[in-house]
Amino acid sequence: MLDRGNIQTSEALVSIESLRVEFDTDGGVVVGVEDVSFSIMPRETVCVVGESGSGKSVTSLSLMRLVEFGGGQIARGSLRLTRPDGEVVDLARADPNFMRRIRGNEIGMIFQEPMTSLNPVFTIERQLTDGLAVHKGLRRDEARARAIQLLKSVRIPEPERRLTQYPHELSGGMRQRVVIAMAVACEPRLLIADEPTTALDVTIQAEILALIDRLKRENGMAVLFITHDMAVVAQMADRVVVMYRGRIVEQGPVTQIFEHPREDYTRMLLAAVPKLGEMRGTIAPEPMRTLDAKPRPAAPEASPKVKREALLEVKNLSTRFPVKGGVLRRTIANVHAVEDVSFSLNVGETLSLVGESGCGKSTCGRSILRLVEAHAGEIWLNGWEIRKLGAPELRAARREMQMIFQDPFASLNPYRRLRDQVAEPLVNFGLASGGELDDRIAKLFDRVELPRSFLRRYPHELSGGQRQRVAIARAIAPNPKLVIADEAVSALDVSVQAQVLNLLMELQADLGLSFLFISHDMAVVERISHHVGVMYLGRIVELGPRSAVLEDPRHPYTKALLSAVPIADPRNRRIHEKPNASLIPSPIFPPGHKPQRSTYDEVAPGHYVLQ
Amino acid sequence: MKRFISPKGIIGLALIILVILAAVLAPLVLPADFATRMSMSARLRPPSAAHWLGTDQLGRDLLYRVMLGGQTSLKIAGAAVVMSVILGLPIGLIAGYYRGHVDNLLMRLVDTLLSFPVLLLALTISAMLGPSLPNTIIAIGVAFSPFIARIIRGEALRVAQMPYVEAARAAGTNDLQMVLRHILPNIMPPIIVQATLSLAFAILAEAGLSFLGLGTQPPQSSWGLMIQASRDYLDVAPWTALVPGAAVAVTVLGLNMSGDILRDVFDPRAN
């Protein structure tokens, strides 16, 4: 069951004991991690999992002694590493010269952001050969040959051509492959991966995870994998370390953690993760189980036989962005962000638009609100054709449709009090004033379960989840019929995400709201939707009731997307590499290009597949 | 959430308060006829018990002169900075918020002004209008306004892209409300910092203009005029230049050091 390979010795490769890391801040000493002890055996994958602030990154940075560069200090504890010759050293006491011999050589590290992990002014060859020259003393031609070998081992197509390219010429997934190649260049015995796939699309993530797994087996490496995603843990880990607020909560073999968690926090974490497939057989959205003592929240109604009326109808919507270039800044091409999209959303229901980055789902939402002007098509809401409205009528129409944005930190004005921001739509539309306004705002805060003392606060005083609740309060303030949630839970910790999803479902049940839920997370979409639309390159490739699209996918892209989603079940591992690294093409066409109409097959009642 | 007040900021604030007090109290503390009280026998005296900072070429007490001169210099500098913000803020805001052709047009106008060296521009305007207090303020204000406009435009561009601006638009906010409620408060910190820096430069600019004869006219005194008048006597009475020069330096230093504190006063995150 556990892929342990051949273990030569039972001695640990890395042994961390009683680690305590402190940070010096204006407000005094902040403890990053306290009393952290665990070990990593050779050739094993240890996943450190936790939410933001848990200390998982600090732990790995301490191992590499990189935490000092971020203002941290190892106050106590030991970090023992067994070197290839058998000698055991305590990295916590090592001097900088010694650490330089370790980093990149015996321990490799990959970081979260492939966009910024590579130096934009160095060619790929330079990035790869630097480490080789320093640690292995290879000559230029030797290093170049090794670099090509490395690129081949990470399955980058056309490796010779890539050597002369710069990072900005590669896609995110390819950049992460280069970063991995750099990290394993000197054949380290331990690879530290700090959230390496969090910023990547789910299909790319699946490939990168498979790549790391294969390299681990081929090179006999151990992997310290840091993540917040329990599904990734289930697919990758041999052993799991659960962290919370700087301390280890629980650790053990992966099957034990998933099937017999001992600690409440672990149980809560496992319960809060939406698992793709657990909604089989149901039709309506269902709230997530949270382990606090709250009674089970109300669920939105199922819509099986009752023919609901349509609230929003989108017909043949197309949105394009011009690409300007040349000396005269003329339009040299167009990005067809949304291409001939049609769907309808019923009263009191949720339609989710799913897809990977660049598929056009966010632009679709913005076009409906006319935050961005569409190029063609009709949008019918409440008897209005939204695209044809003049400015004053559009303002009136905006009462009925509101939006919740992805980034809870940036969607609130840092200089305005929260009560003023929630009051803004009410004030703009003249819906309330004076005492009645104060009353309504207070009630809205109650509704989203925020204490009334928060009314007078500023955004920076709240956590991400709390800010998102404020954003929800602002969105529902004018009593809209439609709320567009643009990746509204993507930036939240998993436990907070579960609570916010439940809140949204409650509001739908109570207020009869309709949601257009835009997301890339299939498991979340499965939880919350009545209907699902899958988007690719600006078009809807499959559309239908949630159970139909997710349980009986017909379009090849939908199938690929669903098969790439990691399953949160350690006994059901399906990491495998596909032969070619996939490249998502981009929908850029020359100015006169006339695209084809989207035509659909109705494979089942209400279930449409693009031809 | 404790407010971290640096020692540097406190010293800076202390210096400015000192300077402002000296300027404000001058008419109350000084004898009524000081402006005209000259003493040909007491010319170019070094600092002594009778005259704490010495006397100038007409026997006037330098301490009194520098205090009253401070009034003029600070008034002109303050008014000039306010004027530069009044001119530059709307241009920068409109250019940054609306972008496109409007931005292009306005910024080319600003570029035209920026292509002149600042002091030269102020000189030219002052020469065209004729030397007087209001005209000096106008000259310096207009010459500084392109810098303010540029900075504000950059900040407005940045803020206009933020999600909370989009969210406010979705909530039905119109352009004027958007600028007043969302854009302006978020660009205040750099404006304040730039304004304090500009105050410092404006004092220097006034000194320069007066030095060249186009700013403050006698018998009114300003620090620039005092420096100009002392030119002929530098070898025999250097304190006649050092006193007003030190006054300018102390004020500029104080402004620079307290710039950070002034900015933090307006930031809810620092409180």
- A68: buried, middle or exposed (CB in 10 Å: 19+, 13-18, 0-12)? middle
Name every chain A residue with its beta carbon within 8 A of the beta carbon of B164. 410-413, 421
CB B43 within 8 A of CB B57: yes
Name every chain A residue with its beta carbon within 8 A of the beta carbon of B168. 413, 424
Name every chain A residue with its beta carbon within 8 A of the beta carbon of B162. 410
Q: What is the CATH number of domain A310-369+484-490+515-610?
A: 3.40.50.300
Q: Do the chains contact at A411 and B164, CB–CB below 8 Å?
A: yes
Mind telling me how many Å the CA of B161 is from chain A's nearest CA? 10
Q: Do the chains contact at A415 and B186, CB–CB below 8 Å?
A: yes
The pair of three-digit structure tokens given for residue B3, joined into one six-digit string: 């407010």
| Nearest CB to B170 within list A26, A369, A414 | A369
* Number of other residues whose CB lies within 10 A of the CB of residue A532: 26
CB A473 within 8 A of CB A450: yes
Residue positions counted in chain B? 271
Name every chain A residue with its beta carbon within 8 A of the beta carbon of B167. 403, 405, 411-412, 471, 474
> Among all residues of chain A, which has the CA nearest to that of B5?
A26
Q: Do the chains contact at B170 and A428, CB–CB below 8 Å?
A: no
Mean local confidence (pLDDT), B23-34:
70
B164 part of contact set with chain A, CB < 8 Å: yes
Would you list the domain boundaries of chain A? 310-369+484-490+515-610
Question: Above 50 in pLDDT, residue A5?
Answer: no
B171 or A293, greater pLDDT: B171
- Whose tokens are 């007040």? That residue is B5
CB A422 within 8 A of CB A441: yes
Q: What is the ipTM of this complex?
A: 0.78
> Among all residues of chain B, which has the CA nearest to that of A429?
B172
A430 part of contact set with chain B, CB < 8 Å: no
Q: Dump pLDDT digits (tens) for A423-459.
A: 999 999 888 888 999 999 999 999 998 999 999 999 9
Mind telling me how many Å the CA of A427 is from chain B's nearest CA? 9
pLDDT at B32: 60
pLDDT at B205: 87
A242 or A69, greater pLDDT: A242
A536 part of contact set with chain B, CB < 8 Å: no
Residues 6+ apart with CB under 8 A from A236: A45, A47, A209, A212, A213, A223, A225, A575
Average pLDDT score over chain A: 87
Question: Above 80 in pLDDT, residue B75?
Answer: yes
Q: What is the CATH number of domain B8-17+54-270?
A: 1.10.3720.10
Question: Above 50 in pLDDT, residue A476?
Answer: yes
Collapsed DSSP state (helix, strand, coil) of residue A347: coil
> Among all residues of chain B, which has the CA nearest to that of A410?
B163
> Is the bond preceding residue B219 a cis peptide, omega within 30 degrees?
yes
Question: Above 80 in pLDDT, residue A297?
Answer: no
Gap between the Cα atoms of A453 and A418, Å rounded: 10
Which residue, among A19, A414, A467, has the nearest Cα to A247 in the 3D structure? Answer: A19
Mind telling me how many Å the CA of A341 is from chain B's nearest CA? 22
- CA dist list (Å): A65 to A49, A74, A575, A589, B205: 20, 9, 32, 48, 52
Name every chain A residue with its beta carbon within 8 A of the beta carbon of B170. 369, 371, 398, 401-403
B163 part of contact set with chain A, CB < 8 Å: yes
A358 or B1, greater pLDDT: A358
Kindly indicate the confidence band of residue A1, based on its pLDDT and cuts at 50, 70 and 90.
Answer: very low
pLDDT at A302: 58
> Among all residues of chain B, which has the CA nearest to that of A401?
B170
B269 part of contact set with chain A, CB < 8 Å: yes
> Among all residues of chain A, which has the CA nearest to that of B163?
A411
Strand partners, A251: A241
DSSP assignments along A408-443, one per residue? TTTSS-TTS-HHHHHHHHHHHTT---HHHHHHHHHH
Kindly indicate the confidence band of residue A37, based on its pLDDT and cuts at 50, 70 and 90.
Answer: very high
Burial A281-290 (b: 16+ CB within 10 A, else e): eeebbbbbeb
Mean local confidence (pLDDT), B235-241:
85
Listed ranges A95-104, A271-280, B191-200; the one with the highest mean pLDDT: A95-104
Question: Above 50 in pLDDT, residue B2?
Answer: no
Mean local confidence (pLDDT), A370-383:
90
Which residue, among B234, B51, B215, has the nearest Cα to B122 in the 3D structure? Answer: B215
pLDDT at A291: 62
A424 part of contact set with chain B, CB < 8 Å: yes
pLDDT at A4: 41
Would you list the domain boundaries of chain B? 8-17+54-270
Mean local confidence (pLDDT), A116-140:
86
Kindly indicate the confidence band of residue A63, based on its pLDDT and cuts at 50, 70 and 90.
Answer: very high
Q: Do the chains contact at A414 and B167, CB–CB below 8 Å?
A: no
Mind telling me how many Å the CA of A27 is from chain B's nearest CA? 8
Question: Above 90 in pLDDT, residue B230?
Answer: no
Name every chain B residue with its beta carbon within 8 A of the beta carbon of A424. 168, 171, 173, 181
Question: Above 70 in pLDDT, residue A579?
Answer: no
Residue B55: φ, ψ to 5°: -125, 160
Question: Above 50 in pLDDT, residue B220?
Answer: yes
CA dihedral over A139, A145, A146, A150, signed as positive or negative: positive
Q: Do the chains contact at A410 and B174, CB–CB below 8 Å?
A: no
Question: Above 60 in pLDDT, residue B107?
Answer: yes
Strand partners, A515: A350, A483
| Nearest CB to A410 within list B164, B174, B177 | B164
Kindly indicate the confidence band of residue B256, based on its pLDDT and cuts at 50, 70 and 90.
Answer: confident
B4 part of contact set with chain A, CB < 8 Å: yes
Which residue, among B211, B193, B195, has the nearest Cα to B248 in the 3D structure? Answer: B211
Name every chain B residue with its beta carbon within 8 A of the beta carbon of A401. 170
The pair of three-digit structure tokens given for residue B74, joined into one six-digit string: 């600070």
Question: Above 60 in pLDDT, residue A7?
Answer: no
DSSP assignments along A518-579, one per residue? EES-HHHHHHH-SEEEEEETTEEEEEEEHHHHHHS--SHHHHHHHHHSPPS-TTS------S
Mean local confidence (pLDDT), B2-15:
71
Question: Above 90 in pLDDT, residue B105?
Answer: yes
Name every chain B residue with its beta carbon within 8 A of the beta carbon of A27. 2
Mean local confidence (pLDDT), A204-225:
90
A527 part of contact set with chain B, CB < 8 Å: no
Q: Do the chains contact at A371 and B166, CB–CB below 8 Å?
A: yes
Gap between the Cα atoms of A479 and A76, Å rounded: 55
CB B250 within 8 A of CB B15: yes
Gap between the Cα atoms of B240 and A59, Å rounded: 65
- Whose tokens are 């079940």? That residue is A569
Mean local confidence (pLDDT), B140-144:
93
Kindly indicate the confidence band of residue A358, based on its pLDDT and cuts at 50, 70 and 90.
Answer: confident
Q: Do the chains contact at A460 and B269, CB–CB below 8 Å?
A: yes
pLDDT at B1: 34
Question: Above 90 in pLDDT, residue A379?
Answer: yes
Q: The pTM is what?
A: 0.81
Question: Above 50 in pLDDT, residue A276?
Answer: yes
A326 or A176, greater pLDDT: A176
pLDDT at A33: 93
Q: Dump pLDDT digits (tens) for A278-296.
A: 888 777 777 777 666 555 5
Kindly indicate the confidence band of residue A6, based on its pLDDT and cuts at 50, 70 and 90.
Answer: very low
The pair of three-digit structure tokens given for residue A396, joined into one six-digit string: 């009136």
pLDDT at A296: 58
Name every chain B residue with its beta carbon within 8 A of the beta carbon of A402. 170-171
Kindly indicate the confidence band of residue A202, based on its pLDDT and cuts at 50, 70 and 90.
Answer: confident
- B81: buried, middle or exposed (CB in 10 Å: 19+, 13-18, 0-12)? buried
> Among all residues of chain B, which has the CA nearest to that of A459?
B269
Gap between the Cα atoms of A238 and A217, Å rounded: 13
pLDDT at A518: 93
Question: Above 70 in pLDDT, residue A8?
Answer: no
CB A125 within 8 A of CB A142: no
Question: Above 80 in pLDDT, residue A180?
Answer: yes
Burial A415-442 (b: 16+ CB within 10 A, else e): bbbbbebbbbbbbbbebbeeeeeeebbe
Listed ranges A126-140, A151-165, A434-448; the one with the highest mean pLDDT: A434-448
pLDDT at A286: 78
pLDDT at B33: 62
pLDDT above 90 covers a percentage of chain B that reads 25
CB A183 within 8 A of CB A108: yes
Mind telling me how many Å the CA of A215 is from chain B's nearest CA? 41
pLDDT at A159: 87
Residue positions counted in chain A? 611
Where do runs of H (alpha helix) occur along chain B?
Answer: 7-29, 62-98, 100-114, 118-129, 133-160, 163-170, 175-177, 184-211, 223-229, 239-265
Collapsed DSSP state (helix, strand, coil) of residue A47: strand
DSSP assignments along A453-503, one per residue? GGGG--GGGS-HHHHHHHHHHHHHTT--SEEEEESTTTTS-HHHHHHHHHH
Name every chain B residue with its beta carbon within 8 A of the beta carbon of A398. 170-172
B162 part of contact set with chain A, CB < 8 Å: yes
Beta-carbon contacts below 8 Å between A and B: 71
